């Protein structure tokens, strides 16, 4: 596991991964499951 600063070059890959995760698994929730790319970018406050 690696902790990295969020950057726009990784946004698409992170959106694909995050939105594919289940909504609820073992008590962990994912509010981004199935959201559109634009909605994900707005909710996570990506900056250019």
48 pLDDT more than 60: no
Evaluate whether residue 3 is within a structural domain.
no
Cα separation, 46 vs 11, in Å, equals 8
Q: Which residues span the domain enclosing 47?
A: 9-20+29-48
Evaluate whether residue 1 is within a structural domain.
no
For 5, the 3-state DSSP assignment is coil
Evaluate whether residue 4 is within a structural domain.
no
Cα separation, 26 vs 47, in Å, equals 32
Residue 8 pLDDT? 77
Structural domain count of the chain: 1
The model's pTM: 0.69
Please state, rounded to an integer, the average pLDDT across all residues of the chain: 87
Evaluate whether residue 13 is within a structural domain.
yes
Evaluate whether residue 44 is within a structural domain.
yes
Per-residue pLDDT reduced to its tens digit, 8-20 = 788 899 999 999 9
47 pLDDT more than 70: no
The sign one gets for the Cα dihedral 25, 22, 6, 39 is negative
């Amino acid at each position: 596991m690696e902790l990295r600063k969020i950057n726009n070059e990784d946004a698409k890959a992170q959106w694909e991964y995050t939105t594919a995760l289940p909504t609820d698994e073992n008590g962990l929730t994912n509010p981004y499951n199935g959201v559109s790319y634009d909605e994900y970018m707005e909710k996570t406050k990506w900056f250019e």
